[in-house]
Amino acid sequence: MIKIRLLFLFLALQASRFAFGQSSNPVISLFPEGTVLHANIPYNTDTLEKHLLDIYLPPNAKGNVPLVVFIHGGGWLVNDKYADIGYMKNTLAAIINSGFAIASIDYRFATQAIFPAQIQDCNRAVSYLYDNAEKYGLDKKRFALMGFSAGGHLASLQGLSNNNNIRNFYMPNSSQKFSFKAVVDFYGPSELTSLYSSEDPKAPEAILLGATPIARPDLAKIASPVTYIDKNDPPFLIIHGEKDDMVPNRQSKLLSAWLTATGVENELIIVPNAPHFGNMFDVDEIQTKVMGFLKKHLK
């Protein structure tokens, strides 16, 4: 748990580096020249700073652009829509250069609102993107998800539950018409009761649920992506570090095994010697896999 606390401190410090105010975008310089930015778009009918998203469009986009929705990590407790971009800049540039758009979204921390607030926010953000696709030149029939750590959990949960009509995963009067062509999950938890820290009341997953997963397995089941796997789910690319000591790669192995057993297309990549996050996930080999997967399912 000490390592987890240190990780969160590091992530919080990383997030603070980007906290230049809502009027500026600290990562736009990492994108290809000519990238079109629509910044700090409110996706819900309120003024919460965590209900904002950014859209990055390829240069000279002509409309009907496929979209990758980017969900940040941080243990459901820290970070923002800029945070993971810094160490995935080559992959994100490749996405833009391939003619795809990126929408990076914020969502409420578990300290602000416990689950299912986070998945409600993710679905509300995508609902906004779907309803306003024509305004931003997006192809509403070609949406994909990409998430990291806690964001990987949310991307997996969103992608898998999308066809299950879980009413509590949506805000009132929010469109549920959208669907996803593909999900890229970087080292996200998939089954909360099997996490090593599932009995620790100070662990992130306990803060997320308002109780430890062991004490409330019913809540943990509702919040676990594997619960919603069925044969009609979108294809998955799952990427995890061999030496991840924050979210054990067993979580991704479990997700992949359930997807395979159910007949859902998926590929699991265990990155040799890689920790929980960082530049080792932005190397050419992984980038090629990600881009091949996205091009296959979005074009």
CATH of the domain at 86: 3.40.50.1820
Q: Which amino acid is at 68?
A: V
- List C-alpha distances in Å: 233 to 36, 70, 101, 164, 228: 32, 19, 22, 10, 9
How far apart are the C-alpha atoms of 88 and 90, rounded to whole Å? 6
pLDDT digit of tens for each residue in the chain (299 aa)? 434 443 443 444 444 343 333 348 999 999 999 999 999 999 998 999 999 999 999 999 988 999 999 999 999 999 999 999 999 999 999 999 999 999 999 999 999 999 999 999 999 999 999 999 999 999 999 999 999 999 999 999 999 999 999 999 999 988 899 999 999 999 999 999 999 999 999 999 999 999 999 999 999 999 999 999 999 999 999 999 999 999 999 999 999 999 999 999 999 999 999 999 999 999 999 999 999 999 999 98
How far apart are the C-alpha atoms of 194 and 25, rounded to whole Å? 38
Could you tell me if 233 and 161 are in contact, meaning their C-beta atoms sit under 8 angstroms apart? no
pLDDT at 121: 98
Q: Which amino acid is at 47?
A: T
Residue 152, SS3 per DSSP: helix
pLDDT at 159: 98
- Say which residue the tokens 């923002």 belong to: 80
pTM for this model (two decimals):
0.93
Range of the domain at 114: 2-298
How far apart are the C-alpha atoms of 187 and 152, rounded to whole Å? 6
Beta bridge partners of 102: 56, 68
Could you tell me if 27 and 18 are in contact, meaning their C-beta atoms sit under 8 angstroms apart? yes
How far apart are the C-alpha atoms of 64 and 43, rounded to whole Å? 20
pLDDT at 24: 86
Residue 85 sits at φ, ψ, to 5 deg, of -60, -35
- List C-alpha distances in Å: 176 to 142, 222, 247: 15, 19, 30
Give the number of domains in the chain.
1
How far apart are the C-alpha atoms of 240 and 250, rounded to whole Å? 9
- Say which residue the tokens 């469109």 belong to: 175
